[in-house]
Copies of this chain bind each other. A is one copy, B any other.
């Protein structure tokens, strides 16, 4: 998946450890039956500031409560985050919280930090407590393998059913000063605004004051991770954490920094959608002409989340009637006589009525997106014009395939 064009920011290698001073590692603790790494650690330099956004679900894991509490008591001065993959440690009662406390205390002790400076994020099966013996045994090798080249190892270790590693790093120069942003994320089921079974991490090697940083990250997440939907389900454990550390950036460059964060977050969000469970292609829905951006986003989400639209996209079938149905039930008011729909470059509907189009050409356009690999930029793009209002919005998702059903019909067994 290539990056959006930006004259400011250039892609570099290194993921979350590309920014100066950040270290990461990933090891195999043995949580999973496979031989893949499943425990990651990120260490931020002294003086770092962390901002977080978390699942809106009522049923949230205790690690989320712990993260929110520690961000509060430290005023964002978090130094490390541990990520275990395979066991969500949600709905595990007091034991779940005690395990999180224990794990972070051990990490703190190992790294010479205070327990309050360490967070833990868990992803995997809900109701499954963390196998603590395995975790505790892995802490020493995990800490000792921390490295400023460990970004990719960490990005690999946080995955569950994801097929590909999702990481990015960008670099820009502001007033002669090099600034780097790193990011990594995981999907890939139970993904829906707000957030997802989604973990996202960002690092940045310039300092930004805590309140400014929190506001910036909130806006960035709103335009990226909160725009994707794989299957309409939201997880108990979603979290996005963003660290900055270094001399403070001059105010005049804050907007440029936010542009870079947007590029990185949207890249990762689209990569999550493209790698949705069982997905063959990335689906993008763009809506313009509503009264507000909020309405446009709501309309786009209704379409990107429709099982009937998603199966039609899977079948490379330009069945615009399903797009119309999903738009009609979105709760957004518009004049049906003004509705126009495009699929890629092909217009399928104009002024509320179907128009002639070459079915096979549109189907070929859709097939092309299916042939992309997991990092392809190709997508099936649905565009709607619903009126002359100033609102614009978008949503990203994926097709719904037989494989989605098969993956999810047998996950715990």
Contacts and interface: CB of A to CB of B under 8 A. Distances in A.
Interface of A: 56-60, 88, 90-93, 125-127, 189-190, 192, 231-236, 305-308, 311-312, 314-315, 317-322, 324-330, 332-334, 336, 339, 349, 352-354, 359, 363, 400-402, 404-406, 408-413
A267 to B, nearest CB: 26
11 contacts: A91-B349, A126-B322, A127-B349, A189-B308, A192-B329, A233-B326, A234-B328, A307-B400, A311-B405, A312-B409, A363-B413
Contacts of A314: 405, 409
A262 B346 CA distance: 47
B306 A232 contact: yes
Nearest to A363: B413
Chain A binding surface SS class: loop
Contact of A404 (B231, B311, B359, B411): B311
Nearest to A189: B308
A235 B406 CA distance: 27
B91 A317 contact: no
Contacts of A404: 307, 311, 405
Nearest to A401: B405
A88 B354 CA distance: 13
A174 B158 CA distance: 68
A378 to B, nearest CB: 19
